[in-house]
Structure 1
Amino acid sequence: MERGLTGSYVPSIAGGVQCQAFIPSALPPQPPLQLENKLQSRVNQAMLALGRLDAISTLLPDARLFLYSYVRKEAVMSSQIEGTQSSLSDLMLYEMEGLPGVPMDDVQEVSCYVSALELGVQRIREGHPITFRLLTEIHRALMTSGRGISKGPGEFRKNQVWIGGHRADEATFVPTPANELANCWAALERFLNDVPEATDPLIKAALAHVQFETIHPFMDGNGRLGRLLIPLILVAANVLSQPLLYLSVFFKKHRQVYYERLQQVRLKGDWESWLLFFVDAITETATQAVSMAQQLNNLRIEHRALVTDLGRMASSAQQVLNVLFEYPVVNINTLVKHGSITAATAGKVMDKLSQPELSLVRELTGNKRNRVFAYSAYIDILNQD
């Protein structure tokens, strides 16, 4: 449904150039959303997929281990959208205090994303609503190192920005002026907290994501924080017990359509087309996450069975596998610390597991000392799109 412009343009100046900035109307949309048969059917499919995803946290032997790695995959993908080159292995090397194969700023940004998500979920579980205070605290965590440290961590921007184009008057989009950010966020905050009326959590997440990206309240990190907002809303509403839904892969794969749908909302008020795109993203992403969890669980069962044939080394190999499922990139020190085995035993087990007849792990450095190993099959599953 096309409602027309969903806000108003006001004169502004960015980079010394006069331009027209956009102030969005408050949510929910007016006239109200039209959830006709096709859209309602796809919303229902998305909710079913979310239900299956939430069940994973109770069906897996140790959902914490899956969450650990899956959060890191999302951090990598979300940061790659913003231009970083860090891979999942780079992040895990960095967390192990190794040297990643990309600039340190890149991997620090990804690591901060993990911290920001974990902080947001912790605060919600402590009973905090999604407010300005929570948002700025998460943003501060997101921007505490790497290139973001000079971009006003935890502070709304104080100047006009633009998106696309080398000049503001030729930009693809010019977000809300800085002097209107407080009012726009206050309106969005009321919507997020069901004032004056409640909104279905899935619909709320979809609408709030667009509104946040349109307001663009920070100097940097808006894309990552806008994507983080989606699982946080669903966790706060108890739709998901764990933050296992991340749409960065889908948004990256369909980047052009994603940006077009956002603009159609702003210029034409076509919220329904955005919702169709969003709920399809939910369904596909949740279904893939369930499949990934099942594959990892099957891998664990298969590899546990394999190492039972290692004779006297079997018990230590099981200890090593336990560590690898939490830290798929490890050195000997990591295995000693978390596996309750000696360095000599850890080295022997890794030598055995890297032999061609097993090939469960791969040594990354080529060194005889300070070796680093990757649990290749596990990382390959995580890297699936």
Structure 2
Amino acid sequence: MQSFVSTRAGRIIQQQAGKDGFSAFIPARLPPVPGLELTGGLRDLLEHASISLGRLDGVSASLDPDRLLYIYVRKEAVLSSQIEGTQSTLSDLLRFEAEGAPGMPLDDVREVSRYVAALHHGFNLLRGGLPVSLRLVRELHQVLMQEGRGSTRAPGDFRRSQNWIGGSRPGNARFVPPPPHEMMIALDNLERFIHDQPERTPPLLKAGLAHAQFETIHPFLDGNGRVGRLLITLLLCAEGALTQPFLYLSLYFREHRAQYYELLQRVRTDGDWESWMEFFLTGVAEVSAQATATTRALLARFEKDRERILIRRGSGSVLTLFEFLRGRVITTIPRAARELNLTHPTVTTALRRLEDMEIVREITGRPRARVYVYQQQLDILNQGIDGQLLPD
């Protein structure tokens, strides 16, 4: 006979008896009942996070969105993958894409590259008219887990067996998500909530609630954390809170990892959605402010360097290459020549002039197959990765 303990967020049900017995958590439908207590601090946080997110969306529009998106997507891919244990840096990923040879273990860089591909795929699906849905979630997972670690763990398929978090088996696990038959019911309910059934939920509240619910359901054998973090940004884009996927909370979650897991667990054990949402909205506000400051710093850097180039004679090809590096950060001579349709000598001369101006530097020390980086741009981006808030 099954026994259960109910909370506002769901119930714990005994799955088996005896020494192999374990209890699994079955999440309740969203939105929470009773509803979120949007009083005092939580209401103020929601307003603050909304304003910060709007400011980020506005300042991002002042930069070429495609170029900025190229960098932000890769920055998030590195951070999100680091949470899962990879050691690759933003420099590793950009260098790998530029010359096809990573500075760190190949599996790590490929894993980060799959995250880049998954985010692009998800955003393109949204632009093509597909709503945030179980189909989109499965497609994200399929792209994310296509190769490397996790590629043998059913990419794109919801699990058909019991999983657990912590411990060596469900019986001694820290947390056990719903079994497969209950999982599909919970996923269906989550999709309905995302589609505003039975009622409309404001975008930031929806993103915070949906992320926590997704992590509780844990519908894949691997990759749940990365998909759950992707879901936040794609939901905000689908809801119109962002025009481009520029908000990423991986750095915030990484820096407050213990609190992140503790508050997710408190939702399950105590039904404490309010503390989780306070944490989530604080993260949105902080990360939005940091991303806004980073974007402004990039704009100032680009303008200053562009003016230095323009005052020199014969700046045409130099300016062309500079604009290319704004969107790529790291390049090789063959890659720049190919993508800009310029000759190798023209690119080489332009890079030498940018080197003389200390705008770019060569990072291999090799006489051939040289690699060039727009160092001050990379430094600005890495300040964000290090969790340092740039001056406003």
Q: TM-score, normalised by structure 1?
A: 0.94
8 Å CA contact 1:322–1:339 kept in 2: the answer is: no
Find out whether 1:51 has 2:54 as its counterpart: yes
Q: Distance in 1 between matches of 2:116 and 2:123?
A: 11
Question: What is the deviation of 1:173?
Answer: 1.1
8 Å CA contact 1:12–1:160 kept in 2: the answer is: no
Deviates more, 1:125-134 or 1:106-115: 125-134
8 Å CA contact 1:162–1:175 kept in 2: the answer is: yes
8 Å CA contact 2:318–2:353 kept in 1: the answer is: no
Find out whether 1:157 has 2:159 as its counterpart: yes
Counterpart of 2:390 in structure 1 is none
Question: What is the deviation of 1:59?
Answer: 2.3
Unaligned runs of 5+ in 1: none
Unaligned runs of 5+ in 2: 1-5, 388-392
What is the aligned counterpart of 1:264 among 247, 263, 266? 266
Matches within 5 A, 1:273-288: 273-288=275-290
* Counterpart residue type for residue 162 of structure 2: Q
What is the aligned counterpart of 2:33 among 30, 34, 37? 30
Matches within 5 A, 1:131-210: 131-210=133-212
Q: Distance in 2 between matches of 1:294 and 1:338?
A: 27
Deviates more, 1:225-234 or 1:361-370: 361-370
Q: Tell me, what secondary structure is at the counterpart of 1:23?
A: strand
Percent identity over the alignment is 46
Q: Distance in 2 between matches of 1:199 and 1:309?
A: 53
* Counterpart residue type for residue 371 of structure 2: V
Provide Cα deviations, 1:271-322, integer angstroms capped at 9, x if missing partner: 111111111100011111111111111111111122234433x222111101
Question: What is the deviation of 1:48?
Answer: 0.4
Question: What is the deviation of 1:87?
Answer: 1.1
Counterpart of 1:363 in structure 2 is 362
Coordinate RMSD, CA, aligned = 1.6
* Counterpart residue type for residue 131 of structure 1: S
8 Å CA contact 1:156–1:181 kept in 2: the answer is: no
What is the aligned counterpart of 1:93 among 92, 95, 102? 95
Q: Tell me, what secondary structure is at the counterpart of 1:295?
A: helix
* Counterpart residue type for residue 18 of structure 1: G
Provide Cα deviations, 1:358-380, integer angstroms capped at 9, x if missing partner: 32222222211111111111111
Counterpart of 1:354 in structure 2 is 355
Question: What is the deviation of 1:17?
Answer: 4.3
The count of aligned residue pairs is: 377
Query: Which portions of structure 1, spanning 4 or more consecutive aligned residues, are displaced by more than 6 angstroms?
Result: none
* Counterpart residue type for residue 62 of structure 2: L
Q: Distance in 2 between matches of 1:83 and 1:166?
A: 19
Matches within 5 A, 1:7-18: 7-12=10-15, 17-18=20-21
Matches within 5 A, 1:287-366: 287-312=289-314, 314-355=315-356, 358-366=357-365
Q: Distance in 2 between matches of 1:186 and 1:17?
A: 29
8 Å CA contact 1:354–1:360 kept in 2: the answer is: yes
Q: Distance in 1 between matches of 2:228 and 2:20?
A: 27
Q: Tell me, what secondary structure is at the counterpart of 1:21?
A: strand
8 Å CA contact 1:105–1:145 kept in 2: the answer is: no
Q: Tell me, what secondary structure is at the counterpart of 1:354?
A: helix
Q: Distance in 1 between matches of 2:319 and 2:238?
A: 37
Find out whether 1:382 has 2:352 as its counterpart: no
Q: Distance in 1 between matches of 2:187 and 2:150?
A: 22
Provide Cα deviations, 1:305-344, integer angstroms capped at 9, x if missing partner: 22234433x2221111011011111000122123343211
8 Å CA contact 2:233–2:247 kept in 1: the answer is: yes
| Structure 1 residues 235 and 351: CA distance shift in structure 2, 3 A | same
Q: Distance in 2 between matches of 1:111 and 1:379?
A: 18
8 Å CA contact 2:60–2:295 kept in 1: the answer is: no
Provide Cα deviations, 1:9-56, integer angstroms capped at 9, x if missing partner: 22347xx94321111111111111100111101100001011111112
Counterpart of 2:219 in structure 1 is 217
* Counterpart residue type for residue 74 of structure 1: E
Q: Tell me, what secondary structure is at the counterpart of 1:296?
A: helix
Q: Tell me, what secondary structure is at the counterpart of 2:150?
A: helix
Question: What is the deviation of 1:245?
Answer: 0.7
8 Å CA contact 2:160–2:180 kept in 1: the answer is: yes
Deviates more, 1:91-100 or 1:152-161: 91-100
